[in-house]
Structure 1
Amino acid sequence: MQIPRYASTSEIPRVAVAGIPFAATSCQEAVAVVLSEIRQPNRQHYPIRFSNAYCVALASRDLGYRRQLQDAGVNFPDGAPIALYMQRNGGSEFAQSLRVRGPSFFELALRRGVDEGVRHFFLGSTTETMNRLVAAAHQRNPGIKIVGTYAPPFGPVSAELLNEATKRIADSKPDIVWVGMGTPKQDWVTAELSRMTSTTCAGVGAAFDFLAGTVREAPLWIQQSGLEWLFRLAMEPRRLWKRYLIGNFTFVYHAERYLHHGRRRSSQRAAIEAGVDKEARR
């Protein structure tokens, strides 16, 4: 397995986009850090979020969700627009900040985790999709350890859901819990379960459907082009049009607003420091 540059996710540098901190790294590095960290005896337990432009747009009008993204855990930039603004906000030091796509992270972690003996728990989706997901994970990754699954009834996050998930996780003792429930629901679930179970929990959105084969995944060249959102919109226009069309405009507005606000504050600070320095030389 790749040896990570950082001992933990907390050491990865952060760059803020519209006031939300994102870890500046690559998908390969992110997987290496997380797999290394979850196997340490005195490891910290935290939620992992793969946040995109839609998440930032939601956070701009939902203070509770905004606090969730600013709270404990780590946000990886699951979206080309986020990575682009990280590069613009962070300067030349972060020019190589890359997208950390949730489904890609999930499949890479499953593959690399085989040799490390990582114990996985899958939470979310439907019973049919979960069965297909488990079968596909075993087929692609011989020797993988899937120690538990739970496909809860569809509905809002409830105490019953969290308590049942906590019980199953406690019984199976996984190293990491993968949650596929969609945004923002999975972000609340990962935060609560990581606290209740003392286990690292990662919300990976549509990754379950992609690996199970129940939803068509964009070809690699589209993923790398930054236009995967357009592909998904074409596949599910009725469900996703508001998320991508309205959400993307909302994201750009707030990202630009924070970007220019930050530059204005930097200019003001530089002017003040220059004035202080001028006075000191008199």
Structure 2
Amino acid sequence: MNKISILNTHIHNLSMQETLAIVDNTISKGGQLHHVVVNAGKIVALQSDLQLRQSVNESDLINADGQAVVWASKILGKPLKERVAGIDLMVNLVELAHNKKYKVFFFGAKEEVVQAVVNNYSEAYSPDIIAGYRNGYFKKEEEQDIAREIANSGANMLFVAINSPTKENFLFTNRALLKNVNFIMGVGGSFDVVSGKVKRAPKWMQKSGLEWFYRFSQEPQRMWKRYLVGNSKFIGLVINEKRKSKY
């Protein structure tokens, strides 16, 4: 797979359809794929968080979740094909699971949220795609037991809706225990959207790179630091990297 490296981050240069094909092929052959997405905030965080950097860069498949990352790749002379948003990939993969009779485990968010996700997908497709589910609240010493529960569920796909860097580190640390699950992926706040708890930005805002602003406008007190401070730091990283490339 074609891969670029920018700002201490590896990213595979794949379209959505190419990513879906790789996942489907891996599952059909009984392999395992550890997937992760990166956005501006995560790239900023892994500059100083070396455990997160390892968890991301040693994954099998890394997509650019944020439009800002795609823009940065072009500015730095290593253009990515397109944004592969984590929530869009998850939605497409759940449909794939239905079509190919794969089973899915949903792990994360509050109990009522993950239950709503399972109910919505069971109604939209079939309860048969559900291997199991669990909320995202647990103690560190429970991690391995949770990983074993998921591994023994018969799931082909695992979606983990927990904040960074917890979800990335959980998947990386427990990847051996999860070897029976063909595809493992962190999906951040995607369960909130699928459950209907949070509204997603209109398509035009997604395409123009303003989805972060829509999310910020919904919860400004909680999101201001993540987006305003994080995005400013990301812009600074890109500018510095561009300057270095001139010398």
The aligned runs of 1:84-163 (5 Å cut-off) are 84-91=71-78, 94=79, 97-142=81-126, 145-153=129-137, 158-160=140-142, 162-163=143-144
Aligned to 2:63: 76
Asked if the contact 1:87/1:97 (under 8 Å) is kept, the reply is no
Contact 1:15–1:89, Cα closer than 8 Å, also in 2 = no
Q: Do the aligned partners of 1:148 and 1:168 also contact (CA within 8 Å) in 2?
A: no
Counterparts of 1:32 and 1:143 in 2: how far apart (Å)?
Answer: 24
- SS of structure 2 residue aligned to 1:105: helix
Structure 2 CA distance for aligned equivalents of residues 209 and 151 of structure 1: 12
Structure 1 distance, partners of 2:230, 2:42, is: 9
Query: What is the CA-CA distance between 1:90 and the residue it aligns to?
Result: 4.3
Secondary structure of 1:195's partner? Answer: coil
Q: Which residue of 1 aligns with 2:158?
A: 177
For residues 224-248 of structure 1, the C-alpha deviation after alignment (integer angstroms, 9 at most, x for no partner) is 1110000000001111100111101
Distance 2:154 2:128 in 1: 15
Residues 46 and 191, structure 1, Cα contact 8 Å, conserved in 2? no
Alpha-carbon distance between aligned partners in 2 of 1:52 and 1:180, rounded to the nearest angstrom: 15
Q: C-alpha distance in 1, partners of 2:10/2:201?
A: 27
**Paired residue for 1:208?**
191
Contact 2:121/2:127, CA 8 A, preserved across alignment: no
Distance 1:144 1:83 in 2: 37
Give the superposition deviation at 1:215. Answer: 1.3
TM-score by length of 2: 0.92
Q: Is the contact between residue 18 and residue 259 of structure 1 (CA under 8 Å) also seen in structure 2?
A: no
| Rounded Cα–Cα distance in structure 2 between residues aligned with 1:261 and 1:18 | 12
Structure-1-length-normalised TM-score:
0.81
Alpha-carbon spacing, 1:86–1:253, altered in 2? closer, same or farther (3 Å): same
- CA distance change for structure 1 residues 63 and 193 in 2, over 3 Å: closer, same or farther? closer
Amino acid at match of 1:252: I
- Give the stretch that moved more between structures: 132-141 or 228-237: 132-141
Alignment of 1:158-237 (within 5 A): 158-160=140-142, 162-198=143-179, 199=181, 200-237=183-220
The equivalent position to 1:62 in structure 2, one of 37, 41, 49, is 49
One-letter amino acid of the counterpart of residue 228, structure 1: E
Task: Choose 1 or 2 for highest CA Rg.
Answer: 1
Aligned residues: 245
1:16 aligned onto 2:8: no
Match of 1:47 among 31, 34, 38: 34
Change in 2 beyond 3 A, CA 1:195/1:252: farther
* 1:272 corresponding residue in structure 2: none
Residue in structure 2 matching 1:35, options 24, 27, 30: 24
Q: Please report the RMSD computed on the Cα atoms of aligned residues, expressed in angstroms.
A: 1.8
Determine the structure 1 residue equivalent to 2:233. Answer: 250
